[in-house]
Amino acid sequence: VKTQGRHGYCFYSPEMSQRSVASQRIENVLRHALAHGELSLQYQPKVDAALGHIVGAEALLRLQVEGKDAFLPDQFIPVAEDTGLIVSIGTWALREACVQARHWQREGRPIPISVNVSPLQIQYAGFYERLDSILCETGLDPALLELELTERTVMSGGDGTIRLLRRIRQRGVRLSLDDFGTGYSSLSYLKHFPVDALKIDRAFVRDITQDPETAAITSAIIAMARSLNKDVIAEGVETELQSTFLREAGCSQMQGFLFGAPMSADALHQRLVEQVA
């Protein structure tokens, strides 16, 4: 329904209709990108909190159309989720990351790769079978793959989702709970979630050195997660102060601009080579 000026029927506010035009445009770009190979992945290092060396990498989607500014995931992932395109895009990202990780495995520099997974992907029939066939096709050691799920994902499908997550873990793939602290975040749920690791959201990390309450909550989350035998990783670490605080609070891994921004596969490989040398 079109906006018909001041006195006509107006189902959308001007901002809303603008937003839907923008999201229609992004949807078209996404469809084109999927068909023409314009999606890519960048890899952001995860480092050991105590030793500082790279112990993994998170795969992050990039969308660059020639001659245009890059689209940011925060712009296009929501559109992909609304339109269902996330299922194909997510499958593409998972396969691409596994192919890359398998390549590094073959070269004798195995490095665990984490891939983000949206709620719709998990709920869509056949997720396990697709994951299994990607692992078989690529020959990747499942221990080198980790899926990052949000609380939204884990909570969305009830018992069915929990069963699915158990199967995935039995296949040898690690699971981590992303953006921890921003959602429902009841620590008591944690004991029901079959996950190996928790990822403390950037929003907490940003404030820990300024806001004593955030610092206290973050320390408590880390301590409790550790007592439940989960690894804890902090994201968005930008300063030495944040890093020191998080290490002393018991974080096992860290990720953020302080250690490296998302980079090409080649650049990450270079970092790994230098680290050994």
Name the site residues for Ca ion (rule: CB under 5 A). Answer: 116, 148, 178-179, 201
Candidates 26, 30, 102, 118; binder of ligand C2E (CB under 6 A) is 118
Q: Does 45 bind ligand C2E (CB under 6 A)?
A: no
Strand partners, 147: 115, 175
Candidates 45, 56, 90, 181; binder of ligand C2E (CB under 6 A) is 90
Q: Does 100 bind ligand C2E (CB under 6 A)?
A: no
Q: Does 151 bind ligand C2E (CB under 6 A)?
A: no
Quote the tokens at residue 213: 């309450």
Work out the end-to-end distance of the chain between its first and last CA atoms, rounded to an integer number of angstroms. 63
Q: Which is nearer to ligand C2E, 105 or 255 (CB)?
A: 255
Strand partners, 231: 197
Question: Measuring CA to CA, which residue among 133, 126, 130, 95 is closest to residue 113?
Answer: 95
* Helix (H) or strand (E) segment spanning residue 42: strand 39-48
Instruction: Please choose, out of 9-17, 18-26, 128-136, 233-241, the segment that lies near ligand C2E by the rule CB under 6 A.
Output: 233-241
Q: How far apart are CA 122 and CA 119, in angstroms?
A: 5
Q: Does 238 bind ligand C2E (CB under 6 A)?
A: yes
Quote the tokens at residue 99: 């192919």
Strand partners, 146: 114, 174
Nearest distance in Å: CB 233, Ca ion: 10
Which positions touch ligand C2E (CB under 6 A)?
A: 44, 60-61, 72-74, 77, 90, 93, 116-118, 178-179, 202, 235-238, 256-257, 262
